[in-house]
Structure 1
């Protein structure tokens, strides 16, 4: 199985692209860097885990992706509170990250 066929990887890539597009004009470079990096880390760790040679490594990188998802949920929450992310968009992204986390849990348990 290739990571490019995984629904969770595709969704995480789409979310990462949305983050980059939304924050392209953001002048708070610290926040912009942190939120885009955590969003990028999710599909990147999924890909790296699936290209590793062992099941143990695959799961380890899926756990890393899950950790990045938790980091991203935190940053979305803070971004919403400080006004960097509109409430409706933050709620949409938060729900998407939560769903991605559930999909990662399923892969980890396989």
Structure 2
């Protein structure tokens, strides 16, 4: 079954959930630079899925998937830092890190499923 719209992509759904969780977790943070960066990086994950999907090109979609994979790693890195800075407890951050790992795994699978089509369609 071919995906008809980006909203049907599981990684996009999970990225939206992650963004909501990050916003809620850091909403009262007074370190506005940190808060802004982690929120922007998190939003970038689902936005790049949407933008890449609607380019209607597998090659461009994969390009955007690689970009969002980097954003996912950025969020994970900032989450580790947030524990060291005592912005969040290690228990809370573990759940968020698990979410980023799950999204990354789905994205890697999506890239692997699309990439072979590029060689057969050219």
TM-score by length of 2: 0.87
Q: Unaligned stretches of 5+ in structure 2? A: 114-122
| Cα drift, residue 41 of structure 1 | 0.6
| Cα drift, residue 53 of structure 1 | 2.3
Q: Could you tell me how far apart the structure 1 residues matched to 2:101 and 2:46 are?
A: 14
Query: Of residues 103, 108, 113 in structure 2, which corresponds to 1:105?
Result: 108
* Large movers: runs of 4+ above 3 Å: none
How many residues in Structure 1 have an aligned counterpart in Structure 2? Answer: 110
TM-score by length of 1: 0.97
Please identify the structure whose Cα radius of gyration is greater. Answer: 2
Matched, 1:56 2:55: no
Q: Could you tell me how far apart the structure 2 residues matched to 1:85 and 1:91 are?
A: 10
Q: Could you tell me how far apart the structure 1 residues matched to 2:20 and 2:60 are?
A: 26
| Cα drift, residue 6 of structure 1 | 1.1
Matched, 1:69 2:72: yes
Q: Which residue of structure 2 aligns with residue 93 of structure 1?
A: 96
